[in-house]
Amino acid sequence: MPQDTMNSADHLRPATATEIADSLSFALRYDGRRRVHHADDAMARITADRLVAHLERSGFVLMKRPDSAAPTTSHHGRGPGES
């Protein structure tokens, strides 16, 4: 296991049901950052909530790293030749 992954494990905490449902709902509505138009918002939320409830009843505990900076596609601040 890479060293940075091992160190970040020290900062894990149990994810809340809301965080899990939000993440699942997002995944059902988007492919990366591109909107998937065949997924209805309400249905995605209902499905995510039901999945979370099932995972909780089954004894699963999902862990979450501390929040990090949002990814960017901006090229500002990069030197010449860097991508």
pLDDT of residue 44: 86
Domain boundaries, position 36: 11-60
pLDDT of residue 40: 80
pLDDT of residue 49: 93
Whether 3 is in a domain gets the answer no
Whether 67 is in a domain gets the answer no
Whether 65 is in a domain gets the answer no
In the chain, the amino acid numbered 47 is T
Whether 50 is in a domain gets the answer yes
Whether 26 is in a domain gets the answer yes
**Nearest-angstrom CA–CA distance, 65 and 8:** 7
**Nearest-angstrom CA–CA distance, 15 and 22:** 11
- N-term to C-term CA, the chain: 27
Whether 82 is in a domain gets the answer no
- How do the pLDDT tens digits run along the chain, 83 residues long? 455 555 667 788 999 999 999 888 888 888 777 887 776 888 888 999 999 999 999 888 888 888 876 666 666 665 555 55
Number of domains in the chain: 1
Whether 28 is in a domain gets the answer yes
pLDDT of residue 1: 47
Whether 56 is in a domain gets the answer yes
What is the pTM assigned to this prediction? 0.55
